[in-house]
Amino acid sequence: MVQPGQLTDVDMYLSGEFVEMEEFIVQDVQLGTSTEAGLLELRADAPALLDSVSSELISRAGASDAAAALSLVAGATVSDGKFAVIRGLPDRYVVSLLNNVRLPSADAETRAVELDQFPSTVIDSIQVSKTFTPDQQGDASGGAVNVVLKGIPDENVIQFSASTSINTNDPGDGEFLTYKGGGVNFWGFDDGGRAIQSEFYNPAGSDGFYNGAKGVSRGDAPINYKWSATAGGNRELADGWRTGGVISFYYDQGSSYFDNGVKDDLGIGDIGQVPLGTPPGGYAPRWGNYFGTPRASLFDVEQGSQEVKWGGLATAGLENEFNRFKIVYMYAHSAEDTARVEQDTRSSTEWWPNLDDNSFLKQFVFSPTDIPNYFRNESLTYVERTTQSLQFSGEHTLPVLDESGEVTFFRLENPEFSWFYAQSSTRRYEPDKRLFSSIYLPASGQHQTRLTGGSIGNFNRIWQDIEEESNQYTMDVKLPFRQWSDSAGYFKIGLFNDRVERSYLQDSFSNRNEFVDGFPVPYDAPLRIISVILPKAFPIYWVMTQWMWIIEVGKIWMPGI
pLDDT given for residue 27 in this prediction: 56
Using alpha carbons, list the distances in angstroms from residue 41 to 33, 48, 286, 310.
9, 13, 55, 33
Superfamily of structural domain 30-149: TonB-dependent receptor, plug domain (2.170.130.10)
Residues near 154 by beta carbon (within 8 Å), at least 6 away in sequence: 32, 234
d(CA 501, CA 466): 11
pLDDT given for residue 29 in this prediction: 47
Using alpha carbons, list the distances in angstroms from residue 505 to 162, 273, 381, 429.
39, 45, 17, 10
Q: Are the CB atoms for 226 and 162 separated by under 8 Å?
A: yes
Provide the CA 223 distance to its chain's centre, in angstroms. Answer: 23
End-to-end CA distance of the chain: 71
Mean pLDDT by 10 residues, the chain (561 residues): 73 75 63 51 57 82 84 83 82 84 84 83 85 73 84 86 88 89 91 76 52 84 93 90 93 93 78 48 71 82 95 93 93 95 89 74 71 88 95 91 70 90 95 88 76 67 92 92 80 89 88 66 68 59 74 56 45
pLDDT given for residue 470 in this prediction: 93
How many other CB atoms sit within 10 Å of the CB of residue 121? 25
pTM over 0.85: no
Going from N- to C-terminal start, the domains of the chain cover 30-149, 155-557
pLDDT given for residue 372 in this prediction: 82
- Dump strand ranges (E) for 8-82: 50-54, 76-79
pLDDT given for residue 561 in this prediction: 45
Radius of gyration from C-alpha coordinates of the chain:
32
